[in-house]
Structure 1
Amino acid sequence: MTDTDLPPDRLSSNPRSPFFDEDTLSRGIGIRFKGAERTDVEEYCRSEGWIRVALGKKVDRHGQPLTLKLSGEVEAWFERPAEGTGDAPSQDASEAG
């Protein structure tokens, strides 16, 4: 895995955030926090070691979900390769069988 295979250091799924990136999120981001995979992460920062998760169904007065900031070791990875990187299996390999 190279540095280009890693997602950005900080990313948010909230379109109102300056750290929102729809193209990056469309590839799917996997998060491991304190050794356990999490699927409820709203925002993360690897270098600072924290994630934000929604606090149930509670919302603030503007209708945005309330979040809780948790500190700990954060690992992030892409779940799908970027389009056009050639990571898809070639047809020659399937025809050789």
Structure 2
Amino acid sequence: MAQVYLPKTMIMTDTKVPPALPDRLSIDPRSPHHVAEVFEHDVGIRINGKERNDVEEYCISEGWIKVASRKALDRRGQPLLMTIKGEVEAFYK
């Protein structure tokens, strides 16, 4: 039998273990709570048992998430963030 050698580009190397989810995380790269390595994987957020897809920032220990308002903008043109309080759970999808 002949041995087959695959180039390195064809070998599956998607065995990266996702980093632990931090207590506080923001999707804004300007924020000090932004961790780029976490966003290489799909992250899900539940608040009070309901999954949300519009979360901009969360804090598990303080029990809040921030979501963008629909129309209101701040003076820099960024959407205003509304805080929703409750039991927060972060997980990888």
Is the TM value for this pair above 0.5?
yes
Q: Does 1:35 align with 2:42?
A: no
| 1:64 alignment partner, one of 78, 84, 90 | 78
Secondary structure of the residue aligned to 2:72 is strand
Aligned residues: CA RMSD: 1.5
The alignment's TM-score, normalised by the length of structure 1, stands at 0.72
Q: How big is each residue's C-alpha offset from its partner over 1:29-64, in whole Å with a ceiling of 9 and x where there is no partner? A: 100001100000000000110000000132211011
- Asked if the contact 1:5/1:78 (under 8 Å) is kept, the reply is no
Who wins on radius of gyration, i.e. which is larger? Answer: 2
Q: Give the total of aligned pairs.
A: 76
- Asked if the contact 1:51/1:70 (under 8 Å) is kept, the reply is yes
Which structure has more helix as a fraction of its residues? 1
Identity %: 53
The alignment's TM-score, normalised by the length of structure 2, stands at 0.75
- Separation of aligned partners in 2, 1:57 and 1:28: 27
For structure 1, the residue ranges without an aligned partner over 5 or more in a row are 80-97
- Separation of aligned partners in 1, 2:41 and 2:71: 26
For structure 2, the residue ranges without an aligned partner over 5 or more in a row are 1-17
